[in-house]
Amino acid sequence: MAIPAKLKQQMESQLNATIKRASPVSGGDIATTFTIRTDAGQSYFLKFGENLPPDMFNAEATGLRRIATAACIRTPTIIAETDNYLILELITEAKPTDHYWINFGHQLAQLHTHTSEYFGFVQNNYCGATPQPNPRDKNGYHFFATQRLNYQAELALERGLLNIGDVDLIERISSRLPELVPLQPPSLLHGDLWPGNQLCDEFQQPVLLDPACYYGWAEAEIAMTLLFGGFDKRFYQAYLEINPLEPGWQERSGIYNLYHLLNHLNLFGRGYYSRVNNIINRYR
């Protein structure tokens, strides 16, 4: 697929340069991705999609800027942004060493020390392609129950992916959150931290990509890193040096990951039902 001519013209106007080469990049589930090179010798990373929600790229850009403002961990610099595309700094990727995972653990822990009075965020955004509501809420239990677990469960019910009994059990878990989860402040989170949303740069420093930012529980962020196999053990050791978690955080990971598994159920279908069902029955 080529970059549509109208979009290409708009990009060139914003960049004040001609795009001489555009190479597709695999792996994007939502947007179409390219690396582009201009006649000025600059290379960038491009994401575009003409049929995406008009606020999707703005929401991503807001998250990237907020993480960058914390000055703890690198994000790609935003070069240009419209409703239809996002042009970012092109990061040179390297193979991670042990030192990378230590840097990553320390820097993510430092990010999580940035807190707010409220759970939520300055705007709603997206976790994958699913809208993620972020109304301000001083009560983290109420926020996670209503805007994460129950919200996703209702979406799945509407789509025929859960039955009413499943939803009742999820709502029961939501009502028990104060028993199951320790009190935590609203920390600045990436929000969708699976392995594909981080990379190692040429200096063995972590770079965060595709955020679904909000202020939430730090344990929820660490739990998601475990969802698809986990990061290197040095990452967790380094993280806990800066931001110790309450004992039992590994055992609580399923509660937090129920949100992301429900989201995957809504995005990708019944293949995720068994994992959702296992967690529902574990914490019911």
Residue of 141, 138, 136, 140 lying closest to 120 (CA atoms) = 136
> Are residues 203 and 110 part of one domain?
yes
> Are residues 105 and 82 part of one domain?
no
Q: How confident is the model at residue 50 (pLDDT cuts 50, 70, 90)?
A: confident
> Are residues 107 and 45 part of one domain?
no
Active site residues: 192
Q: Which residue has the tokens 């000025």?
A: 40
Q: How confident is the model at residue 114 (pLDDT cuts 50, 70, 90)?
A: very high
> Are residues 138 and 242 part of one domain?
yes
Q: How confident is the model at residue 147 (pLDDT cuts 50, 70, 90)?
A: very high
For 237-246, what is the mean pLDDT?
98
For residue 1, the model assigns a pLDDT of 72
> Are residues 261 and 169 part of one domain?
yes
> Are residues 210 and 181 part of one domain?
yes
Cα–Cα distance for residue pair 175/163, rounded to 1 Å: 19
> Are residues 26 and 114 part of one domain?
no
Total count of domains within the chain = 2
Burial of 205 (0-12, 13-18, 19+ CB in 10 A): middle
For 81-106, what is the mean pLDDT?
98
> Are residues 240 and 133 part of one domain?
yes
> Are residues 250 and 138 part of one domain?
yes
Question: Is the model's pLDDT at 223 over the cut of 80?
Answer: yes
Domain boundary among 89, 123, 145: 89
For 32-56, what is the mean pLDDT?
95
Cα–Cα distance for residue pair 140/224, rounded to 1 Å: 17
Question: Is the model's pLDDT at 146 over the cut of 80?
Answer: yes
Is the model's pTM score more than 0.95?
yes
> Are residues 15 and 124 part of one domain?
no
Q: Sign (positive/negative) of CA torsion 51, 227, 73, 97?
A: negative
> What is the SS3 assignment for 188?
strand
> Are residues 132 and 155 part of one domain?
yes
Alpha helices in the chain (DSSP H): 5-15, 56-70, 98-112, 140-144, 150-158, 164-175, 177-180, 218-225, 233-242, 249-268, 273-283
Domain boundary among 49, 68, 89: 89
For residue 18, the model assigns a pLDDT of 98
Domain coverage including residue 44: 5-89
For 235-262, what is the mean pLDDT?
98
CATH number of 165's domain: 3.90.1200.10
Look up residue 272 and give its DSSP letter: G
For residue 27, the model assigns a pLDDT of 72
Look up residue 147 and give its DSSP letter: I
> Are residues 148 and 16 part of one domain?
no
Q: How confident is the model at residue 64 (pLDDT cuts 50, 70, 90)?
A: very high
